[in-house]
Amino acid sequence: MSEIKDKMLQRFLKYVTFDTESCDDATTVPTTPGQMTFAQYLKEELQSMGLAEIVLDDKGYLYATLPSNSTKELPVIGFISHLDTSPDMSGRDVKPRVVHSYGGGNVVLDEKEDIILSVNDFPEILNYKGDDLVVTDGHTLLGADDKAGIAEIVSAVEYLQAHPEIEHGKIRIAFNPDEEIGRGAHNFNVPLFGCDWAYTVDGSAEGEIEFENFNAGSASFAIQGCNVHPGYAKGKMLNALRVATEIVSSIPATESPECTDGYQGFYHLMSINGGVDSAEVSYIIRDHCRETFERRMAFISKVADGIKAKYGAGVVTLTLKEQYRNMREQVEPKMYIIDLAKMAMVQAGVKPVVKPIRGGTDGAQLSFMGLPCPNLFAGGINFHSRYEFVSVQVMEKAVMTIVNIAAMVKDLK
């Protein structure tokens, strides 16, 4: 594996210099021009590698093929990562630095401004003692989410090209825009991709494999009050903000993100806006269990009904939407694709860690579009943060996991 380690690292260090932060307010696809610039760069790189069936569409979706070298009829598998970085933290002018053979302790990101990757705040960094860590200068995110995934997929393809003795079927790769704002799968061409199943390479710590995510919904309470002069308000005023606080008080605070983990669902208060005359309260609702999720959505409706019964039908209007579903429904009938990934990890010296995604993923939407698509680790830690880092050694293991999956497909029964 050391034969391509340096090239993989240099590839990743180049990728993170592209400003690909996505924008939730934009209506274009991709939502920012830097994503298309990066996609065009990748297209040229894949062409130089001699890949086949390379397509970059006008929305920034890039597809390519490593042809089969087997005489057998094998399933077509895919690997997917996203081009964009999160708008939660700037991704402009990223200045990565490699900490060689991390010895433990704090990592100073910017000495002048006293920006420190502290073991007190981020004790998980101690798990990577001895590894080479790529960090930021403390002023941007790194972009390992998900440029590490892209670098790993491209490096795995390069490794397979360099080792034709590794028998494999047709392998498809794809890089898409706008995953961080939930739109990555919206324009993904599943028929063109043409895979029996795929993996997103977009997870975090070494060994993670995820095939369960939240069922997701959103709720918006539009409140219409009645504003009159406060000196003459008795019996007339209906303060929309007070109604908003009643709604919030009706929803269990102990079932919020800060009070839950693992498989526990939640109600997440996103915003309260407005004044006396009108206001709006917004929530997102999440749960891994479909039945519990539906009960949560029904509970939100009961809260709205209670406000209507108290103040009148026109006081509150509830908009309740389902956003996405738990991909386990689609993956579970084909659990051999999870077993395959586990075996590939073990062969790469990685202990598989099956865990639920406390969020969404392109793979969830793709799974319901007919492409079962669990998620594999890419190695990045502290995503969306100035404290983001990734271990080069973990990235290597991710590359070998991809290579092993490709090589082991022929042995499926």
3-class SS string, 254-295:
HHCHHHCCCCCCEEEEEEEEECCCEEEEEEEEEECCHHHHHH
Q: What is the pLDDT of residues 122-158, one digit of tens each?
A: 999 999 999 999 999 999 999 999 999 999 999 999 9
Say which of 19, 21, 84, 362 is annotated catalytic. 84
Q: Region 308-317: what's the mean pLDDT?
A: 97
In this structure, of 107-111, 355-359, 387-391, the range with the lowest mean pLDDT score is: 355-359
In this structure, of 65-74, 289-298, 356-365, 393-402, the range with the lowest mean pLDDT score is: 356-365
Q: Region 31-45: what's the mean pLDDT?
A: 98
361 or 190, which is more confident? Answer: 190
3-class DSSP state of 358: coil
pLDDT above 70 (res 402): yes
Q: What is the pLDDT of residues 245-259, one digit of tens each?
A: 999 999 999 999 999
CATH 3.30.70.360 applies to domain 215-324: yes
pLDDT above 70 (res 267): yes
The amino acid at 389: F
Q: Region 344-352: what's the mean pLDDT?
A: 98
Contacts 24+ apart (CB under 8 A), 9-15: 9/98, 9/132, 9/134, 9/392, 9/395, 11/151, 11/154, 11/155, 12/134, 12/144, 12/147, 12/148, 12/151, 12/390, 12/395, 13/96, 13/98, 13/134, 15/143, 15/147, 15/150, 15/151
pLDDT above 90 (res 92): yes
The whole-number pLDDT of residue 209 equals 97
Q: What is the pLDDT of residues 153-182, one digit of tens each?
A: 999 999 999 999 999 999 999 999 999 998
Say which of 179, 202, 206, 362 is annotated catalytic. 179
Instruction: Just give the CATH number of 2-212+327-411.
Output: 3.40.630.10
Query: pLDDT grade, residue 360 (50/70/90)?
Result: confident
In total, the chain counts a number of residues equal to 413
Please state the domain extents for the chain: 2-212+327-411, 215-324
Which H or E run contains 65? strand 62-66
* CA 324 from centre of chain: 14
Q: Catalytic: 179? A: yes
On the CB side of 61, CA atoms within 13 Å amount to 15
Q: What is the pLDDT of residues 194-204, one digit of tens each?
A: 999 999 999 99
- Alpha-carbon gap, residue 312 to 171, rounded angstroms: 59
Q: Which two tokens stand for residue 374?
A: 């669990």
Alpha-carbon distances, residue 316 vs 228, 250, 309, 366 (angstroms): 19, 14, 10, 35
The whole-number pLDDT of residue 5 equals 87
Q: Region 331-355: what's the mean pLDDT?
A: 97
Chain-wide mean pLDDT for the chain? 96
The whole-number pLDDT of residue 324 equals 87
Q: Region 362-382: what's the mean pLDDT?
A: 96
The whole-number pLDDT of residue 282 equals 97
Question: What percentage of the chain reaches a pLDDT higher than 90?
Answer: 96
The whole-number pLDDT of residue 413 equals 72
Q: Region 223-239: what's the mean pLDDT?
A: 96
Q: Catalytic: 84? A: yes
